[in-house]
């Protein structure tokens, strides 16, 4: 095993200019992350200098068997924390051979919204709080929970310390450092209310980069849990009953919101979100009705509400924002399995272009 470990950790830069590029894309379910690697003749830092590639879309639920080729367009580059050196991770989106985005390519439309002059001039910032649950591989039950049974009730686990409270911290810390190494704007991590549930935050990040970074952070988490022999679940309510669900709260601001008088702009934006509540809920993640019940720090899925420092509202404005008269707000409705390309661009479209 030591020889295998030595080979896995072998530094290529000692003997060659060649690098390995891991191309990452989103599969047919909208949540399954796929990747494959290729050799490149030397280091690359600009995605436009990377070659396009293809894959068998009939094996990912994205193309028919008799016309299965799907083309990967490289969009963003990150450092590879697994292979290290000059090796890279490449976030891609997917197109037909004719150059049309395939139906599951949500990045393409998001990029169009973010490149709109009115949106670009507002420099929209996002901070996404990605919650997830670590699961036992063979029984689909949270780690640290007795199989077929339950731990003690919620209370001691949120930001808790100790083997009976902080379950899976080694995975969380490994992921945290891997994200920083990769160049992701990860801003923190914490244990969540339900045991075995954790959160990482990405941001503030501007525009389309928020979606790229959340997807690559998810990829890194999937890889690290793969190594650890556990599974990660982004289900918005992995355990029914009196247990917190998992969300992906989206903190958001524009340039005018961050400037003096921004609170009035925030209130107008919230009014626009209220008018399109149903459309946003429909796009904010599958199974979210199991989470947005009006309990466990959520608002009811059918009712839009907002308030200052209210974690039971659809949208929360922070005390600092109220006090300073400018800042940001938090859309608490997105589920943990939301597509960050869809959510970030939709919020910008509704609040800036709506």
Report the pLDDT value the prediction gives residue 297, as an integer from 0 to 100: 84
Query: What would the two tokens of residue 226 be?
Result: 């793969």
Locate 52 and state its tokens: 């396009």
User: Using CA atoms, how far apart are residues 89 and 83, in angstroms rounded to an integer?
Assistant: 10
Please enumerate in sequence order all residues whose Cβ is within 8 A of that of 296, keeping only pairs 6 or more positions apart, or say none.
Answer: 193, 242, 243, 244, 245
User: What's the pLDDT at 315?
Assistant: 97
Name the H helices within the chain.
Answer: 2-8, 106-115, 117-120, 169-182, 208-228, 255-258, 262-275, 277-283, 319-324, 340-348
Please name the residue that has the structure tokens 């810390």: 173
Q: Report how far residue 102's alpha carbon sits from residue 108's, in angstroms, rounded to the nearest whole number.
A: 9
Model pLDDT for residues 25-65, shown as the tens digit of each residue: 999 999 999 999 999 999 999 999 999 999 999 999 999 88
**pTM of the model as a whole:** 0.97
- What is the DSSP secondary-structure string of 236-269? S-SS-SSS---BEEEEEE-HHHHSTTHHHHHHHH
Residues 88-126: tens digit of each pLDDT: 999 999 999 999 999 999 999 999 999 999 999 999 999
Give the integer Cα–Cα distance in Å for 74 and 39.
Answer: 15
* 330-350 pLDDT, tens digit each: 999 999 999 999 999 999 999
Q: Which tens digit of pLDDT belongs to each residue from 244-262?
A: 999 999 999 999 999 999 9
Q: Does residue 150 register a pLDDT over 80?
A: yes
Helix, strand or coil, per DSSP, at residue 343: helix
* Coil/strand/helix, residue 56: strand
Nearest to 131 by CA among 55, 52, 192, 81: 192
In whole angstroms, give the CA distance from residue 328 to residue 6: 47
Give the chain's radius of gyration (CA, Å): 21
Q: Is the dihedral of CA 190, 191, 193, 198 positive or negative?
A: positive
- How many residues are there in the chain? 354
């Amino acid at each position: 095993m030591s020889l295998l470990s030595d080979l896995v950790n072998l530094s290529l830069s000692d003997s060659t200019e060649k690098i390995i590029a891991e191309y990452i894309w989103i599969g047919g379910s909208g949540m399954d992350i796929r990747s494959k690697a290729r050799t490149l003749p030397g280091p690359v830092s600009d995605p436009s200098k990377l070659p396009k590639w293809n894959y068998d879309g009939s094996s990912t639920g994205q193309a028919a068997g008799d016309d299965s080729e799907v083309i990967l367009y490289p969009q963003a580059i990150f450092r590879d924390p697994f292979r290290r050196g000059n090796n890279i991770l490449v976030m891609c989106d997917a197109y037909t051979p004719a150059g049309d985005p395939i139906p599951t390519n949500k990045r393409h439309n998001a990029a169009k919204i973010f490149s709109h002059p009115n949106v670009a001039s507002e420099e929209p910032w996002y901070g996404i709080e990605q919650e997830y649950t670590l699961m036992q591989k063979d029984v689909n039950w949270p780690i640290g929970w007795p199989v077929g049974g339950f731990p003690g009730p919620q209370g001691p686990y949120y930001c808790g310390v100790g083997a009976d409270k902080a379950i899976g911290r080694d995975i969380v810390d490994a992921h945290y450092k891997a994200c920083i190494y990769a160049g992701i704007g990860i801003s923190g991590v914490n244990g969540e209310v339900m045991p075995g549930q954790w959160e990482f935050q990405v941001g503030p990040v501007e525009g389309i980069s928020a979606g790229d970074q959340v997807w690559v952070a998810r990829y890194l988490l999937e890889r690290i849990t793969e190594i650890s022999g556990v599974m990660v679940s982004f289900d918005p309510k992995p355990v029914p009953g009196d247990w917190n669900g998992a969300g992906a709260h989206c903190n958001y601001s524009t340039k005018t919101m961050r400037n003096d008088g921004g609170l009035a702009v925030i209130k107008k934006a919230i009014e626009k979100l209220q008018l399109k509540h149903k459309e946003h809920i429909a796009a904010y993640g599958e199974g979210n009705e199991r989470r947005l019940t009006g309990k466990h720090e959520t608002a009811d899925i059918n009712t839009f509400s907002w308030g200052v420092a209210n974690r039971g509202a659809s949208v929360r404005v922070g005390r600092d924002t109220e006090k300073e008269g400018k800042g940001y707000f938090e859309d608490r409705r997105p589920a943990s399995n939301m597509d960050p390309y869809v959510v970030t661009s939709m919020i910008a479209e509704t609040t800036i272009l709506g």
